[in-house]
A and B are shown apart, each in its own frame.
Chain A
Amino acid sequence: MRQVVWLVIAVLAGCGAYQRGEGLDVATVPPALHADYELFARRCSRCHSLSRPLNARITADEHWAEYVSRMRRMPGSGISPDDVPALLRFLTWYSAARRAPDGGAGGAR
């Protein structure tokens, strides 16, 4: 019985860590980009953690376009061509914010 209790605690702790470890604090994202960020979080977390794109050292908009295009073609990505503009809007903002002298809003956790 004690082992079951420890197992439940471990699972809950893991879930808590998972909740805290993903993505950005939405409050740091401009309100106009909230919907774009939600789409980004939903689509890109399907296959990998959000820290992967958020930590990518990509600065050029053209590179983001190629990156998203490559991801969109992954089997079952769920990223339709119509989703791309919103994803690029968020990523280019995020990329510029990271380069800002104050470190920008939000940061990949």
Chain B
Amino acid sequence: MKSRALMLLICLVGVLSPFVAQSIDLNLAGTLQLDYLFTPFGRSDPRPASHTLDGFTEKLSLKLAIDISSHASANVKACFGCHGFEVGMAYVDFRLADEFNIRAGRFSPTFGEFGLRHDPGNHRLSDKPLPYDMGRMLRMMEFGRSVLPSPYVDNGIELSGSHFFGRRLQLDYAAHAVAGLRANTDTPYDVDFIASRSAAPYYIDNNSQPSVGGRVGLTARLADRVDLTVGGSAIWGAYDTRARMTYTVLGADLFLRAGRTNVRAEYLIRRTDMYAAEQERFEYALQPWPTDRCPSGSSRCATAGTWRSSSLCCATSTSSCAGTACAAAATSPRARPSTSTRASRAGPSAPSTPSSAGID
């Protein structure tokens, strides 16, 4: 009873708070981007259809920004693009101070520098930097090669803030907990970016374990018309349905602005645990886990085919192994010659490490 009365009191204070707006200000904005990719092949040459996604692509976004008061605002954005309709923003911001803002809802978790201006209206080029690109890759069917496809939209909560030290130095931080990237299986080979952004079956987490991350950035005004921003970002989470396979994304960004010249550079790296029992799925043979990396008294092993340091050492060499696939993964890597030209794979062992840098 007491708790209900307390909740009622909190609600009343919230409703009657001086933070409540005298009026609600709305601002509607939108962008439309239409690209045509021309491939110089003749009609008799079938290569365009097998090499590229040529022709028109379109991205439309409509955003409604609502300033409820100087301490509260909300944003809703609907997008239409290659994946159909998507809710890019549906969140509320509560600001207690410049240094402490709470964001809840569906939003793009703060990561890197490009995320702020991923909307086509905010970047000058027709496509995104390769580490963030989604569907407009160099060749057809090379989806999922980017490190963190943008826009990365997810459900969750984010704390952020900004503080100025005089007029010349600005420090930003953001920390978030969101549902995280997904693969709708417990034996994934990589993050499934289509499942991660899909409303099917639901816009809910697939493993009940939030992904966490954030960014810290420092902006310095070096001269009247020269600014420099450096930042570091990270995201960590589990992506399979049993929350055993994890991914870690790290990023560093730099933005130098001198007069009308902008130089932006970002470096991203992602390490992803992979289900490694079926080695034929990989273009490189997997190496056995080095025995000398197991704790004293244990030996190399594998559990249920996973390829993770934490599951590869056990008290006896076979006690936790289940099935021939596991044994094969642990002891007899296939020496399959690789004919691939894929350069973004980490090499002969999992986890994989796609990494990339971009300058525009």
Q: Give A residues with C-beta under 8 Å from B.
A: 18, 42, 46-49, 52, 56-58, 60, 62-63, 65-67, 69-70, 72-78, 80-83
Q: Which residue of B lies closest to A70 (CB)?
A: B73
Is A57's CB under 8 angstroms from B28's CB? yes
Q: Are A76 and B229 in contact (CB under 8 A)?
A: yes
Closest residue of chain A to B166 (Cβ to Cβ) is: A80
Residues of B contacting A74 with CB < 8 Å?
116, 162
User: Contact at A66–B69, with CB atoms within 8 Å?
Assistant: yes
Q: A14 vs B229: C-alpha distance in the bound complex, in angstroms?
A: 26
Q: How far is the CB of A100 from chain B (nearest CB, A)?
A: 21
B172 cross-chain contacts in A, Cβ below 8 A: 75-76
B221 on the A face (CB < 8 A): yes
B170 touches A80 (CB 8 A): yes
Which of the listed residues A18, A52, A81 has the most CB atoms from chain B within 10 Å of its own CB?
A52
Residues from chain A with a CB closer than 8 A to the CB of B117 are: 47-48
Q: Lowest 10 CB-CB distances: which A-B pairs, in order?
A: A66-B67, A63-B25, A75-B172, A48-B122, A76-B229, A80-B167, A76-B219, A80-B164, A47-B117, A73-B162
List residues 154-174 of chain B with CB under 8 A from any CB of chain A. Answer: 160, 162, 164, 166-167, 170, 172, 174
B-side interface residues toward A, CB under 8 Å?
Answer: 23, 25, 27-29, 65, 67, 69-70, 73, 93, 95, 98, 101, 110, 113, 116-117, 121-122, 124, 160, 162, 164, 166-167, 170, 172, 174, 215, 217, 219, 221, 225, 227, 229, 231, 255, 257
Question: Nearest Cβ in chain B — how far from A14, in angstroms?
Answer: 9
- A42 proximity list for chain B (CB < 8 A): 225
Chain B residue numbers with a CB within 8 Å of A67 are 25, 27, 65, 67
Q: How many A-B residue pairs have CB under 8 A?
A: 81
Query: What is the bound-complex CA distance between A42 and B93, given in angstroms?
Result: 26
Given A75-B174, A76-B217, do A66 and B229 touch, yes or no (CB 8 Å)? no
Flag if B162 contacts A56 (CB, 8 Å). Answer: no
| Cβ contacts under 8 Å, A18 to chain B | 124
A49–B117 alpha-carbon span in the complex (Å)? 10
A46 to B225, CA, bound (A): 12
CB-based contact A75/B215 at 8 Å: yes
Assembly CA distance A67 to B257 (angstroms):
24
**Chain B residues in 8 Å Cβ range of A83:** 167
CB distance from A50 to the nearest CB of B (A): 12
Could you list some 27 contacts between A and B, CB below 8 A?
Answer: A42-B225, A46-B257, A48-B122, A56-B27, A58-B25, A58-B27, A66-B67, A67-B67, A70-B73, A70-B93, A73-B101, A73-B162, A74-B162, A75-B110, A75-B116, A75-B160, A75-B217, A76-B170, A76-B217, A76-B219, A76-B229, A76-B231, A78-B219, A80-B167, A81-B164, A82-B167, A83-B167
